[in-house]
Chain A
């Protein structure tokens, strides 16, 4: 690096434009990544990030481009295979791996592609895959089928696969979306190691905290236009959020005292063996109770017991002062509890069904007309109401839910549960995969709901999120509530330190 400091580029794009139909996805965007740099590409969903990645990797051809240069070489046209050969790899959010094939075969798969028949050398494959994992400093059983691995290790397999192709520029699309904090930290360590090895990384993430932690520079794109390129030194999350959305985002502690509010829900000494011990908490009407801690602390398990999905071994639960023993999730819903699960894509939504059907699924029983069949009018009314209420941006209510962005999908999940008219709403990691602007929208709704008197339990391992949106914070570790915090008397770094210590 001494001979050509900082001016060696892995990638240079000048004035790249791309339109789909009438929509200008990219409008004369410049984008430069230095060799060995960790660069963040930031922007809201639909801002053109994916189009940019797809243009560099040859999935899309740009309408016009003044310059496309990869590793100092000017390029006219590129297709995905050429991009890979030149050392550009993309790790998509869904990873594009093969769940039933072995780890080694997943890592070395690209060597097998092609129609010229040749024999497979498993021994060589295992050796080479092992070498790549060693380079990353990771140990994973090479012969295990991929779907035996936790998602964080699959992410590592995807990185190893990119390195197997001698990638010198790796795009990572939301690599941490489904990782816990400690898994994220380990992944960021790997990213740093790659960067030190001279591999340039373009990091796309909604989690601004880690963007600022890992990247040297950040390029912000909004509505297909380049907003600017900024060093991360001196950049704050709030400023970055503003650049991405173009709006000022309120990010302040907004805790309130609710001395007169009645207690809606209470647990006393609630335990479930191997998951959580002696959990006692109260939630008042109109209160947002934050529950944070490392993954595996027992937070989600606690929520499952509250929803009647699992049974507690010991302790009691009280709902509005009366004994509450949910026998099933249906029972819990009838009693006025609602649960927005952490895995929205798999558990919270029926991806192939329409927006309206997803909205009304939990209240179908209440939509029946005199005939005993579902009334289309009442259904449409309800859907219209919630779409307006929550500001969900949709085309038609009959469109598939999968056509919506992450933030809007999450709003539909909220609508689905709010339609049951709950008294206690449990939000489990509600902003995973939701971008910064939509997050603000979701928490604005949460705040309004609380003002209307709904009790809310907010489960999240993102400390800032809990700090800015809760009235009180409980810290859970190893299945126990270890501490009770007032967001007004503790700072984000202090709380982070206690959680990750």
Chain B
């Protein structure tokens, strides 16, 4: 048990902070600890969490991706045009189109990074701009409203009406999010491919000497990120019922902040699904809580920034060592 806690220090700390936050909010904001609020929190976090687990895979493999949110927009737009073009399609085709388009965009990043030996932050800042520029150029910034019915249909996986007649619902995006989280966990934790991703992120030269195929690892990491970006794009349309080319611009930094907050190491080799979930939930609950308390939305950005600084600056302090040295002195 102690070992487990030790190897998950950041996650444990974040969980404690999150629990305290929830208790404080339940007391100070009566609407917070209600079923309708909880379900809406989940619905609103679904897309972020899908991105987050994709980004986690990239971070674990020692890379970073700035382009994924814009990539989701590109996928939405192209998929909408194609699906309308073939007369509507259905969910299966939607997943197929969006997933493979996302993978293609991810593989483009991987190819640029590996093929030209450019560091990932430079490549993905470039593709972020290129994706967004191309999208705005071809779409002219115009939204698409006349989407196929299946895509914009409200599908609930859970419904409940309370005594006041307020509905609590979980949308399809939550189920898809759970699927993405589980699949990513299996990939990075339970397969040899995932463990090679960690090793590659941790010590690229050591991994290369051990015979890890570096090109494939980059492809898997960014391809998975792309797949998640494609699925996130698909589900975001299902939530907002339109394709708005610039709707997701800027979301990448919120997701990156959440994943880093969850203990993923910039530089690779470290990061867990649990931390990722906690990080995304921390950001979401903070925002939700401040909203309920009627605090200015600008305070939210400030608090997230401060939280990241605190999390990163304290993550190197090992509390167990602190106690040990105290014992030695006394």
Interface size on A, residues (CB 8 A): 31
Contacts of B195 in A (CB 8 A): 101, 105, 109, 112, 120
- When each residue 100-129 of chain B gets 1 if its CB lies under 8 Å from chain A and 0 otherwise, what string results? 000000000000000000000000000000
Within 8 A of A (CB), among B203-223: 203, 205-207, 209-213, 216
Known contacts A92-B209, A115-B193, A120-B192, A98 near B269 by CB under 8 Å: yes
* Interchain CB contact under 8 A, B209 and A80: yes
Contact with B192, one of A114, A141, A144, A145 (Cβ below 8 angstroms): A114
Give the distance in Å from the alpha carbon of A34 to the alpha carbon of B265 in the complex: 46
Q: Nearest CB to that of A114 among chain B residues?
A: B192
* Interchain CB contact under 8 A, A112 and B270: no
Contact with A274, one of B6, B203, B206, B329 (Cβ below 8 angstroms): B329
Tell me whether A97 is interfacial, beta carbon within 8 Å.
yes
Known contacts A112-B196, A119-B190, A99 near B3 by CB under 8 Å: no
Contacts of B3 in A (CB 8 A): 141, 143-144
Give the distance in Å from the alpha carbon of A142 to the alpha carbon of B193 in the complex: 21
Q: Nearest CB to that of A143 among chain B residues?
A: B3
* Interchain CB contact under 8 A, A113 and B211: yes
Tell me whether A22 is interfacial, beta carbon within 8 Å.
no
Q: Nearest CB to that of B192 among chain A residues?
A: A112
Contact with A113, one of B6, B198, B203, B210 (Cβ below 8 angstroms): B210
- When each residue 187-199 of chain B gets 1 if its CB lies under 8 Å from chain A and 0 otherwise, what string results? 0011111111011
* Interface of A, helix, strand, loop or mixed by DSSP: loop
Known contacts A101-B198, A113-B196, A120-B195, A96 near B206 by CB under 8 Å: yes
Give the distance in Å from the alpha carbon of A143 to the alpha carbon of B199 in the complex: 16
Contacts of B329 in A (CB 8 A): 273-274
Contacts of B7 in A (CB 8 A): 102, 143-145
Within 8 A of B (CB), among A80-100: 80-81, 84, 92, 94-100
Q: Nearest CB to that of B216 among chain A residues?
A: A115
* Interchain CB contact under 8 A, A109 and B202: no
Q: Nearest CB to that of A142 among chain B residues?
A: B3
Tell me whether A118 is interfacial, beta carbon within 8 Å.
yes
CB distance from B326 to the nearest CB of A (A): 12
Contacts of A114 in B (CB 8 A): 192, 211
Tell me whether B240 is interfacial, beta carbon within 8 Å.
no
Q: Nearest CB to that of B203 among chain A residues?
A: A98
Known contacts A96-B205, A99-B203, A101-B202, A113 near B191 by CB under 8 Å: no
Query: Can you give 27 A-B contacts (C-beta < 8 A)?
Result: A94-B205, A94-B206, A98-B207, A100-B269, A100-B270, A101-B195, A101-B198, A101-B199, A101-B269, A102-B7, A105-B195, A109-B210, A111-B192, A112-B192, A112-B195, A112-B196, A112-B199, A119-B190, A120-B190, A120-B194, A120-B195, A141-B3, A143-B3, A143-B7, A144-B6, A144-B7, A274-B329
Chain A residues with CB under 8 Å of chain B are: 80-81, 84, 92, 94-102, 105, 109-115, 117-120, 141, 143-145, 273-274
Chain B residues with CB under 8 Å of chain A are: 3, 6-7, 189-196, 198-199, 202-203, 205-207, 209-213, 216, 265, 269-270, 328-329
